[in-house]
């Protein structure tokens, strides 16, 4: 292979947001990376979002190892069904998680995004393309506004306002996996059919960056880093640099006044797929 067409390489970094285990997960196979973000919930449970992300990620990893060219939506639907049946999960009464997959096989790169863990692509001509699912952000606007107002009036973070936060989570749960609402990994295999998908010739792509929303907020809300191109620059140097840049921005807004948010620090996970050399990616993003 030439210097600009090496074997794809995956580099990752993670950091928990609080003093407890992260609910983000990253899994890899020989030709895929899977990033999941288990949803936090008001009630404590051993079967929380992180638990579900672990179950789903491990089964996705197994299936994509056994069937590396399988349709991604079919594979995700089969995984949801398997985890649901194995653990007796029920729709609308189970934890949830995002799932984002980048898979390269033959001449193509396939992307599947379900939930707010976006994938950002860098082409070999230096263009940036986002594959994202923002449907969750559009549901429960009244409850979201009530929580923002509680934070504005009384200070602190969303987690500090139990009644408003619980109301938002409940409203989101009612809109889960339904037309006009949003779709997410839970206990309904049909959700996989509503994922956002994209496919690109591998010869046209230089890199794919997949992050959980704890990192995406850095670009989308804090403007730190300022752009997705800048985020790829940091991740190409080392994914931990991107994680720490966002985490440091949050530390400098320790009371949440500049950027009102649910918690001081969210869990953060980054996976960068290099489809060309690190040096070539650096040149494309300079």
CATH of the domain at 19: 3.60.40.10
Query: Burial code of 120-152, b = ≥16 C-beta within 10 A, e = fewer?
Result: bbbbbeeeeeebbbebbeebbeebbebbbebbe
The model's confidence at residue 44, banded by pLDDT at 50, 70 and 90, is low
Specify the range with the lowest mean pLDDT, choosing from 35-44, 184-193, 265-274: 35-44
Q: Which residues contact 195 (CB under 8 A, 6 or more apart)?
A: 72, 73, 76, 99, 112, 113, 114, 133, 183
* Residue 209 belongs to some domain of the structure: yes
**Residue 166 pLDDT:** 86
Answer whether residue 152 shows pLDDT above 80: no
**Residue 5 pLDDT:** 63
**Residue 42 pLDDT:** 61
Class of residue 197 by CB neighbours under 10 A (exposed 0-12, middle 13-18, buried 19+): middle
* Residue 1 belongs to some domain of the structure: no
The pair of structure tokens assigned to 222 is 């804090």
The model's confidence at residue 20, banded by pLDDT at 50, 70 and 90, is confident
Q: How many domains does the chain have?
A: 1
* Residue 215 belongs to some domain of the structure: yes
What is the tens place of the pLDDT at every residue in 126-143? 999 999 999 999 999 999
* Residue 214 belongs to some domain of the structure: yes
Q: Look over the chain and give the mean of its residue pLDDT values, rounded to a whole number.
A: 93
The model's confidence at residue 206, banded by pLDDT at 50, 70 and 90, is very high
Contact predicate 48/77, CB 8 Å: no
- Reference 269, options 229, 210, 208, 228; nearest CA is 210
Q: What is the pTM assigned to this prediction?
A: 0.94
Residue 114 domain boundaries: 9-139+169-285
Q: Which residues contact 158 (CB under 8 A, 6 or more apart)?
A: 147, 150, 151, 164, 165, 168, 260, 261, 262, 263
* Residue 88 belongs to some domain of the structure: yes
* Residue 182 belongs to some domain of the structure: yes
Three-state secondary structure call for residue 196: strand
* Residue 57 belongs to some domain of the structure: yes
* Residue 2 belongs to some domain of the structure: no
Mark residue 88 as left, alpha or beta (left: phi above 0; alpha: psi -120 to 50; beta: remaining): left
Distance, CA of 248 to CA of 242 (rounded, Å): 10
Say which residue the tokens 């070539």 belong to: 280
């Amino acid at each position: 292979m030439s210097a600009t067409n090496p074997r794809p390489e995956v580099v990752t970094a993670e950091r928990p947001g609080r003093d407890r285990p992260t609910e983000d997960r990253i899994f890899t196979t020989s030709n895929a990376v899977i990033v999941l973000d288990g949803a936090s919930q008001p009630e404590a449970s051993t079967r929380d979002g992180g638990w579900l992300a672990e179950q789903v990620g491990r089964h996705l990893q197994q299936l994509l190892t056994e069937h590396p060219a399988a349709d991604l939506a079919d594979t995700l639907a089969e995984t949801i069904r398997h985890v649901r049946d194995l653990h007796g999960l029920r729709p609308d009464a189970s934890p949830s998680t995002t799932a984002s997959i980048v898979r390269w096989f033959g001449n193509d790169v396939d992307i599947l995004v379900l939930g707010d863990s976006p994938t950002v692509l860098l082409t070999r001509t230096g263009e940036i393309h986002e594959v994202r699912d923002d449907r969750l952000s559009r549901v429960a606007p009244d409850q979201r506004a009530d929580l923002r107002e509680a934070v504005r009036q009384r200070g602190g973070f969303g987690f500090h306002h139990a009644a408003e936060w619980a109301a938002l989570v409940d409203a989101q749960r009612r809109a889960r996996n339904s037309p006009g609402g949003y779709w997410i990994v839970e206990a309904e295999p049909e959700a996989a059919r509503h994922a956002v998908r994209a496919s690109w010739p591998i010869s046209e792509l230089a890199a794919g960056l997949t992050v959980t929303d704890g990192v995406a907020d850095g670009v989308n809300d804090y403007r730190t880093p300022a752009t997705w191109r800048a985020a790829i620059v940091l991740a190409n140097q080392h994914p931990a640099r991107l994680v720490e840049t966002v985490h440091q921005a949050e530390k400098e807004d320790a009371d949440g006044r500049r950027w009102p948010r649910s918690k001081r620090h969210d869990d953060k996970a980054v996976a960068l797929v290099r489809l060309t050399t690190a040096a070539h990616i650096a040149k494309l993003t300079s």
